[in-house]
A and B are shown apart, each in its own frame.
Chain A
Amino acid sequence: MLSTRRFILTSTLGAVLDLGLAVAKASAQGTGSTFRLVPSSDLKVLDPVWTTAVVTRNHGYMIYDTLFGTDAAGRIQPQMVDSHTVSSDGKTWTFRLRSGLAFHDGLPVTAEDVLASLARWAKRDPMGQRMYASLDKAEVVSGSSFRFVFREPYGTVLESLGKPSSLVPFVMPKRVADTPADKQIAEHVGSGPYVFKADEFRPGERAVYLKNAKYVPRSEAPSGTTGGKIVKVERVEWVMLKDAQTQVNALVNGEVDMLESVPFEHYNTLKVNNRITTAVAAGGQYLLRFNHLVPPFDDVRVRRAAMLCMDQGALLRTQVGVRELYKICMSVYPCGSPLASKKSVDFTDKPQFAKARDLLKAAGYKGQPVVLLHATDNALVAKLPPLVAQLLRQGGFTVDIKSMDLNSMMARRAKKEPAEQGGWNAFVTYWGAEDALNPINYAPLSGNGEAGWFGWASDERIEQLRAAFARAPYPALRWQLAEEIQVRAYEIGAFAPMGELLRPMAFRKGVVNGLLVGQTNVYWNISKL
């Protein structure tokens, strides 16, 4: 009797445990219709106009659509727009929307929705601000047509509307877009290929998107943020995993399908894993930003001396390590992008310490400490500041590294006081390639002083060139102006380019197909076996 009881108990317990493990494994690995992705960072803010965070931009691409997009070759292509015309004087631009566009709540997308969305976006985005400042009026022509009338010919309308990165002019319903730009939107309804499942959003844990069955994709092949946004999975889950090792373990074990960003130190391991495919997408640029307001970097000679100390190869080897994931690049625009140029005045990727010391001597630099901010918890750049400090010391600088967390660094870099009063002199940062494609969007190229980006470079000439770039009516002229801006940036020592990294991604081999590798992460066209 006792042994029978024990047998029943043991069998039942075993069965329950087996079932539990089976269910857990199945649930962990998901089904073919659910694509699970680990985004590069935690999705916190859901309003793509409220923050420049890349993860929020990517969320935007899931649920919203754009008037234009940028293809894989960097060309602007229509997306929601069916056709557009430009008047012979270059002042009036008229756009007509594609038919069949509808928001997730079933309401049609109208010109009113578009103009309300653009007006909100233009309050925040540098390209939008510049374009709207040149506008005489933006008006609805009909239900699906709208018009921009500029005071003078304006060249970069399509570049502004089709820009691939922060801030992207996503189209929202007017009732949502009427939210003031300094308030977060409360409703997340778009007309894009996926529908956001607000009731399943668990901050810090996961975000869920369902296929928008009513979405009408364009007929062209998908490319970059343009073309046919065809959704081939029913459900996409963004799984927020913070620990790098846990991300890799989850991918190898099949619990997630893709890592949007692979930590450099795990890249080689994943590359040789026969269950994983790695891919490399456009990454971004490292740069050393100077504080132009306070000594010693208020003197252009001192800034140029610091630039001459940089050794791109050494810096990239230290931070990235894997040779195929970085490239030496002396262009301020991403190397290989349409506006990239090799003109770098007298700067090279190799240090020129003797020239740097001569410049410091000429500037009368007396060895006052340069306060270099070091965000130790920002894995993407954390290894660079100590090496930058050493290179600067070799060039004759006295350097004082201040280590802190990223948030403290971001707060401190806003201070304009001299370094000894809690301010700063330089910091290292990273800029996504998609945000450095042109001189209007690329904030470190601004020269509008205290109204500009941290470091507050002030240069009238560079601002004139940027304004001319925005108005330039044809690409050849824009390319020429972009190159002039690059040269000017080197002359004034706006910042020191420190080379480029490429962004490694990894996904399950034979399971995930159709990933669009480009400047921006987009998750349509993906299928899962």
Chain B
Amino acid sequence: MSIGTSASFDNPTAMHTFIARRLISTLPVLIFVAIFVFLILRLTPGDPAALIVGDMGTEADVSRVRQSLGLEGSLPSQFLIWVGELLRGDLGQSYYFKTSVGTLITQRLEPTLSLAALTIVLAVVIAVPLGVLAAARHGGWLDRMLMGFSVLGFSVPVFVIGYALIWLFALKLGWLPVQGYGRLSSGVGPWLSHLVLPALTLSLVYTALIARVTRAAVSEALTEDYIRTARAKGLTERAVLMRHALANAAVPIITVIGIGIALLIGGVVVTETVFAIPGLGQLTVDAVLSRDFPVIQGVILLFSVVYVLINLLIDLSYVLLDPRIRY
């Protein structure tokens, strides 16, 4: 991020140029990721053909399947075939499912995005007010409780929280389902009821993270001269906190929320497993365990693009939140 150049929302042309430049600069990153993932997968021990054939298959069976999967060719030729398909917009076909990787990813996108969105909304709605209040009552009981909660949120493994919530809300009270995912097309009710527990589980750690960062950033802002000026003007404490302290602390908070979203997209594996949500996390784990190379490559490329886009959005949000920032 550079400050002092002319790209801002007041100057659309410069902003468009900035966005275009940023998007183009992601190409080398994606190319590097593609090569790296391709090579690392081929160099990892394991053979998808052996798993496909099963325990009772013979060496000849494995060899036959390797051939049919195109794994017998040299690494450069395999890479060129894959890149050729990529350039045509084809992520390839799963070794197992005889389905295109694009279709598999599309099927898994909705559950993961839903879970990530609900989690981040829950985390922000709870964490930001908590963080602001803790900063306003620095050293008080709320502040100490928040710090204690943060330690808990970071320390307790997600699967422990998940199983505890399942035990209480699904098995004991019978309010919510244990597992699965209700697609939005089948109604908001089933969608929400299947997501409440996983989102609560997953949001705990993000709530802790965002609340801590909010508390720190607002605490720092509260020591600034303009806060003293605002109080001297006779503004209410609420106005001082919301309009001056929080607004000026927004950049680090937005940064951590953005990073949180990016981490969530790729980091929902455990939650998806505990709650049997058929999302991208489970797809990735299954693909890695079964060495389904085209699927792993496709998902990692997707994650790379998501990371790049989220970083870009974070950078753009800085301009909105802080008028002093120019690109």
A, B from the same assembly: yes
Which residues in A have some Cβ–Cβ distance to B below 8 Å?
A: 16-17, 19-25, 27-28, 42, 44-46, 50-53, 124, 166, 182-184, 186, 202-205, 239-243, 245-246, 249-250, 252-253, 255, 377, 404-408, 410-412, 414, 429-431, 435, 443, 450-454
Is the Cβ of A414 less than 8 Å from the Cβ of B47?
yes
30 example contacts (A-B, Cβ-Cβ < 8 A) are as follows A24-B182, A24-B194, A25-B193, A27-B186, A28-B178, A44-B96, A46-B98, A52-B53, A52-B55, A184-B98, A186-B98, A204-B283, A239-B276, A242-B276, A242-B286, A243-B273, A246-B273, A249-B171, A250-B178, A250-B179, A255-B178, A406-B51, A407-B47, A407-B50, A407-B290, A407-B291, A408-B45, A410-B50, A414-B50, A443-B56
Interchain CB contact (< 8 A) of A51 among B45, B54, B282: B54
Which residues in B have some Cβ–Cβ distance to A below 8 Å?
A: 45-48, 50-62, 64-65, 67-68, 94, 96-99, 104, 107-108, 163, 166, 170-171, 174-180, 182, 186-190, 192-194, 273-276, 278, 282-283, 286, 289-291
Interchain CB contact (< 8 A) of A411 among B47, B104, B192: B47
Quick one: given A204-B278, A250-B178, are A407 and B46 in contact (CB under 8 Å)? yes
Of the listed residues A186, A252, A406, the one surrounded by the most CB atoms of chain B closer than 10 A to its CB is A406
Closest partner residue, chain A, to B291 (CB atom): A407
Shortest Cβ gap from B212 to chain A (Å): 30
Q: Tell me the bound Cα distance from A407 to B51 in angstroms.
A: 6
Q: Tell me the bound Cα distance from A435 to B48 in angstroms.
A: 23
Of the listed residues A16, A407, A443, the one surrounded by the most CB atoms of chain B closer than 10 A to its CB is A407
Q: Tell me the bound Cα distance from A410 to B46 in angstroms.
A: 7
Closest partner residue, chain B, to A410 (CB atom): B50
Is the Cβ of A202 less than 8 Å from the Cβ of B163?
no
Is the Cβ of B177 less than 8 Å from the Cβ of A44?
no
Interchain CB contact (< 8 A) of A203 among B54, B94, B170, B192: B94
Closest 5 A-B residue pairs measured CB to CB?
Answer: A20-B189, A52-B54, A24-B193, A205-B278, A410-B50
Q: Tell me the bound Cα distance from A404 to B50 in angstroms.
A: 15
Q: Tell me the bound Cα distance from A408 to B44 in angstroms.
A: 9
Q: Tell me the bound Cα distance from A23 to B187 in angstroms.
A: 9
Q: Tell me the bound Cα distance from A27 to B273 in angstroms.
A: 20
CB-defined contacts of A50 to chain B, threshold 8 Å: 52, 65
Shortest Cβ gap from B142 to chain A (Å): 27
CB-defined contacts of B194 to chain A, threshold 8 Å: 24
Closest partner residue, chain B, to A248 (CB atom): B178
Is the Cβ of B171 less than 8 Å from the Cβ of A202?
no
Is the Cβ of A246 less than 8 Å from the Cβ of B56?
no
Shortest Cβ gap from B18 to chain A (Å): 40
Q: Summarize B's interface: helix, strand, loop or mixed.
A: helix
Q: A204-B283, A241-B179 are in contact. List 20 more A-B contacts (CB 8 A).
A: A21-B193, A23-B187, A52-B56, A183-B68, A203-B96, A204-B108, A239-B180, A241-B276, A242-B282, A242-B286, A246-B273, A253-B174, A255-B177, A255-B178, A255-B180, A405-B46, A407-B46, A407-B50, A410-B47, A411-B45
Q: Tell me the bound Cα distance from A44 to B292 in angstroms.
A: 11
Interchain CB contact (< 8 A) of A24 among B54, B67, B166, B177: B177
Quick one: given A253-B177, A407-B51, A414-B62, are A204 and B286 in contact (CB under 8 Å)? yes
Is the Cβ of B177 less than 8 Å from the Cβ of A411?
no
Q: Tell me the bound Cα distance from A362 to B116 in angstroms.
A: 65
Of the listed residues B47, B53, B96, the one surrounded by the most CB atoms of chain A closer than 10 A to its CB is B96
Is the Cβ of B50 less than 8 Å from the Cβ of A411?
yes
Interchain CB contact (< 8 A) of A27 among B54, B99, B182, B282: B182
Is the Cβ of A203 less than 8 Å from the Cβ of B99?
yes
Is the Cβ of B186 less than 8 Å from the Cβ of A203?
no
Q: Tell me the bound Cα distance from A450 to B48 in angstroms.
A: 21
Is the Cβ of A204 less than 8 Å from the Cβ of B282?
yes
CB-defined contacts of A451 to chain B, threshold 8 Å: 58, 60
Shortest Cβ gap from A479 to chain B (Å): 23
Is the Cβ of A408 less than 8 Å from the Cβ of B46?
yes
CB-defined contacts of B171 to chain A, threshold 8 Å: 249, 252-253
CB-defined contacts of A414 to chain B, threshold 8 Å: 47, 50, 59, 62
Shortest Cβ gap from B234 to chain A (Å): 30
